[in-house]
Amino acid sequence: MAELHLLSPAGFRASGVYAGIKSRQAPDVGLLLCDAPASAAAVFTTNKVVAAPVTLARQHILSGQSRGAVVNSGNANACTGSQGERDAKQMCDLAAAAAGCKRNEIIPASTGIIGHFLPMDKVEKGIAEAGKYLGNSEEHALLFADTILTTDTRRKIAAADFKVNKQPITIAGVCKGSGMIGPRLVPANAKHATMLAYLTTDAKIAPPLLQRLLKSASDTSFNAVTIDDHTSTNDMALFLASGASGISIKGGKDLESFTKALNEVCRSLAYQIASDGEGATKVVVVKVRKAASAADAMAIARAIANSPLVKCAMNGNDPNWGRIISAAGFANARFEHNKAHLTLQGATVFSRGRPAEFDPQALSAALTFHEVQVVLTCNLGKHEATCWTCDLSRDYVTINADYHT
Amino acid sequence: MAELHLLSPAGFRASGVYAGIKSRQAPDVGLLLCDAPASAAAVFTTNKVVAAPVTLARQHILSGQSRGAVVNSGNANACTGSQGERDAKQMCDLAAAAAGCKRNEIIPASTGIIGHFLPMDKVEKGIAEAGKYLGNSEEHALLFADTILTTDTRRKIAAADFKVNKQPITIAGVCKGSGMIGPRLVPANAKHATMLAYLTTDAKIAPPLLQRLLKSASDTSFNAVTIDDHTSTNDMALFLASGASGISIKGGKDLESFTKALNEVCRSLAYQIASDGEGATKVVVVKVRKAASAADAMAIARAIANSPLVKCAMNGNDPNWGRIISAAGFANARFEHNKAHLTLQGATVFSRGRPAEFDPQALSAALTFHEVQVVLTCNLGKHEATCWTCDLSRDYVTINADYHT
């Protein structure tokens, strides 16, 4: 079987071109279009400062219908006032011209530096060119995946499929995110890095259900990854369902399969973000078990995953578990260290209020692996949460001290 | 006039000796004793995981009376179970023997690595020796100040005095703190890096008033400094009033003068912590003005001060103000960027939703100074807050990746 990609689901075309917005020569303007009106759902940043494209996208998504997305990287079009609003609208107008639809059928997005006006001459040429090179091959899918990258060192793609009456349904996605990553995504009708994610499927599915599934999948994937806990002004995940398979997903076992595949795709993308965090040398998977509530479990997992001290210890392969327990202790959650149990890479380092015996050399060696598992069992209830992060390295500082405005 | 120090207020003696707990040869066991029972107040960490000495100190402070403090550095005696509790009690017993008082008249503290048992043979010898070398000279004050240091690169001392009926009253303090700094201190009867602070005064002042003044002073000093927002298991600030001046502080103008001097001392100590943050090359003073509430002002200031992206930009002398505005936007506070105004080192970089014109080279040069002023005016109310932090450097990572257990 050929590798699945963003355009494997029928009904979509995409492109990515270099318009000269990014400093390095790499695609920076892209289109992801549906051949016919698609069901659409999206979740957006909870930052109270939102970029112009986010404000517009929130309006455009409310109909539950879309003909696709336009995106640029290299410039966030955030904190750019009314000029930024006009520019975001113009991006939609230009994409709508390429798609043969109306402005409000296009979902815009931008990612890059905050506080600079978009170079609209370049954007205009870029979107026109992107309109000419649309296609549904894997190459087109990869070009679009590359278009949204900024400080990312590699593209992030995931896909899953399942069968309904022997006919395959595919869910696919691409995303970007490496720094300014602490997404807290919620639907547009609620208030809510840049993390950008684009998901496609050929299933036929009603917009309210699509929205509900995306919200739920985001909570345990995009909203559970943190690089620096800095929620961006531009975060968005967009899910487009073309319906081209002719197969409706409404409930029962098919909905279960669909949900499972969607969760798998979103969690894979989130993991890839953590793995490619700015300066990261490893992924740190923080699992909190037996917490008093689901919110407590996530609060504790996030406190651990966000602690610079924990992340530096991981960078140094140091089994300094005191930093993990103390981070759990200051999370806004119920926690009793006399009941808790902590393992690093499977080795018990702390149990019920006391240090446990372990071989520090062997554990330090195990912490050099690409993935580190931190498992904290609270013994206060039955709830659990997983959060993905990465270590904090000197390279994170270099990237963010030297990435000048 | 001679330099004021921790033992300038009459009625106190102190000492510091090297007992071999720290890896480098520097004092690590100290005593700060009062010649007679002193009024005592303290605030403690809000971390739910508290070190054994904190648990004990919380009990001992409730009487409002104390004969002094015992402290060790190099080991936090945290997450050490019932053995740790016994060790903390023994530290108090040994100090009480030196002071000629009861165990519960001594306030214990420890700072250093979490999860290791105290080397009690060394601690025992150290306290006995510290009891022999007590004195009230400046040298004794400085030795005690050095005793509490861990990753600090310099001692932190402050003092202020004022006159009541031509007689001087002095408030003096020492503190430590460089990493694991995000104190959230509250009184013992409420629930609450190690940051340790010791304050002395020769004023005569009732314990409940002393407690109220310390709580209030802490909120705008120790609780407003953050290096890595990692609230420690061992944070404490202790305030001892010997009454040796014979002058009572109860209210009116004298209380105003006392409060002013106390705030001055605490804020100076907090500033010194930010200035000596692990790996710091500069202090970043974040002032939020005209916020909708005091809590909003502090939440916004903290979100900015804690953002690794903001702190890296400061390290790189980069006027990347988008990171500051976006941090304000994800704080748990009311914020409208279309009303906000932001200056860096006095230069307006953002005003009412739009970027402002500024000379990036000149501003970048101004960001190399030892102190950076970030002033965000919200224009939503009349409340303000100040938070102190430092930049995030490669050295912070080096210190915390290589400071092995």
Which residue, among B26, B2, B7, B8, has the nearest Cα to B16 in the 3D structure?
B26
Residue in chain B lying closest to A334 (CA): B48
* Distant-in-sequence, close-in-space partners of B100: CB < 8 Å, separation ≥ 6: none
């931008």: which residue's tokens?
A: A110
Q: Is A168 on the interface with B (CB under 8 A)?
A: no
Which residue, among A336, A236, A130, A141, has the nearest Cα to B48 in the 3D structure?
A336
User: Which amino acid, residue B355?
Assistant: P
CA dist A387 and A183 (Å) reads: 12
CA dist B48 and B82 (Å) reads: 17
Half-sphere exposure of B357 (CA within 13 A, CB side): 0
pLDDT reported for residue B405: 55
- The predicted model gives A191-197 an average pLDDT of 69
User: Residue A322 and residue B360: Cβ atoms within 8 Å?
Assistant: no
CA dist B135 and B47 (Å) reads: 34
- Those of residues 33-72 in B touching chain A at CB distance below 8 A are 46-50
Helix (H), strand (E) at residue B90:
helix B81-99
pLDDT reported for residue B188: 66
């700072």: which residue's tokens?
A: B111
The Cβ of residue A382 has, within 10 Å, a number of other Cβ atoms equal to 11
- The predicted model gives A139-153 an average pLDDT of 95
CA dist A6 and A145 (Å) reads: 8
CA dist A8 and B146 (Å) reads: 66
- Those of residues 169-188 in A touching chain B at CB distance below 8 A are 179-180, 182, 184
């990493």: which residue's tokens?
A: B179
pLDDT reported for residue B273: 95
ipTM of the complex model? 0.91
Which residue, among A148, A70, A55, has the nearest Cα to A103 in the 3D structure?
A70
Q: Which of B117, B318, B355 sits opposite A404 (nearest CB)?
A: B318
Q: Which of B50, B228, B353 sits opposite A79 (nearest CB)?
A: B353
How far from B12 is each of A110, B127, B175, B242, B248, CA to CA, in Å?
63, 17, 17, 7, 18
* Residue A349 structure tokens: 């380092």
CA dist A29 and A17 (Å) reads: 5
* Residue A179 structure tokens: 């720094």
CA dist B320 and A304 (Å) reads: 28
DSSP class of residue B190?
Answer: S
Is residue A360's pLDDT more than 50? yes
Q: Is A323 on the interface with B (CB under 8 A)?
A: yes
Rounded (10°) CA dihedral B225, B230, B233, B234: -30
CA dist A179 and A200 (Å) reads: 25
pLDDT reported for residue A346: 96
CATH 3.40.50.720 fits A283-402, yes or no: no
CA dist B45 and B57 (Å) reads: 11
CA dist A188 and A43 (Å) reads: 6
Alpha-carbon distance A363 to nearest alpha carbon in chain B (angstroms)? 12
Contacts of B399 in chain A (CB under 8 A): 312
**CA–CA–CA angle A76, A61, A121 (5° rounding):** 35
Q: Which of A180, A329, A397 sits opposite B397 (nearest CB)?
A: A397
The Cβ of residue B244 has, within 10 Å, a number of other Cβ atoms equal to 18
User: Residue B330 and residue A394: Cβ atoms within 8 Å?
Assistant: no
CA dist A65 and A68 (Å) reads: 9
Which residue, among A240, A241, A224, A238, has the nearest Cα to A188 in the 3D structure?
A238
Contacts of A49 in chain B (CB under 8 A): 325-326, 328-329, 335, 337
Which residue, among B254, B324, B244, B247, has the nearest Cα to B288 in the 3D structure?
B324
Rounded (10°) CA dihedral A3, A9, A13, A18: -40
Radius of gyration of chain A (CA): 21
Is residue A194's pLDDT more than 90? no
Which residue, among B348, B279, B359, B274, has the nearest Cα to B312 in the 3D structure?
B279
Which residue, among A134, A133, A206, A145, has the nearest Cα to A172 in the 3D structure?
A145
The number of residues making up chain B comes to: 405
Q: Is A192 on the interface with B (CB under 8 A)?
A: no
Active-site annotation of A, residues: 194
Q: Is A236 helix (H, G, I), strand (E, B) or coil?
A: strand
Determine which of B83, B229, B400 to mutate to test the interface with A (most A C-beta atoms within 10 Å): B400
pLDDT reported for residue B100: 96
Which residue, among B381, B298, B376, has the nearest Cα to B333 in the 3D structure?
B298
Burial of residue A346 (number of CB atoms within 10 Å: 0-12, 13-18, 19+): exposed
Residue in chain B lying closest to A314 (CA): B401
Domain residue ranges of chain A, discontinuous segments joined by + = 12-275, 283-402
The Cβ of residue A23 has, within 10 Å, a number of other Cβ atoms equal to 9
Alpha-carbon distance A166 to nearest alpha carbon in chain B (angstroms)? 46
- The predicted model gives A349-353 an average pLDDT of 96
Crossing angle of helices B308-315 and B294-306, rounded to 10°: 60
Superfamily of domain A12-275: L-amino peptidase D-ALA esterase/amidase (3.60.70.12)
Q: Is A157 helix (H, G, I), strand (E, B) or coil?
A: strand
pLDDT reported for residue B55: 96
Share of chain A above pLDDT 90, in %: 91
CA dist A222 and A174 (Å) reads: 12
Cβ atoms B145, B250 nearer than 8 A: no
- The predicted model gives A27-54 an average pLDDT of 96
Chain A, chain B: beta-carbon pairs less than 8 Å apart: 218
CA dist B333 and B119 (Å) reads: 46
* Distant-in-sequence, close-in-space partners of B197: CB < 8 Å, separation ≥ 6: B173, B174, B175, B176, B222, B236, B237, B238, B266, B269
Q: Is B304 helix (H, G, I), strand (E, B) or coil?
A: helix
Q: Which of B80, B115, B354 sits opposite A80 (nearest CB)?
A: B354
pLDDT reported for residue A182: 83
Active site residue B194: yes
Q: Is the dihedral of CA B269, B223, B110, B128 positive or negative?
A: positive
Q: Is the pTM of this model over 0.95?
A: no
pLDDT reported for residue A24: 85
Residues of chain B scoring pLDDT < 70? 1-2, 188-193, 403-405
Q: Across the strands, what pairs with B83?
A: none
CA dist A248 and A388 (Å) reads: 33
Q: Write b or e for each residue in B18-36: b if 16 or more Cβ atoms lie within 10 A of its Cβ, otherwise e.
A: bbbbbeeeebbbbbbbbee
CA dist B284 and B263 (Å) reads: 20
DSSP class of residue A284?
Answer: E
Helix (H), strand (E) at residue B310:
helix B308-315
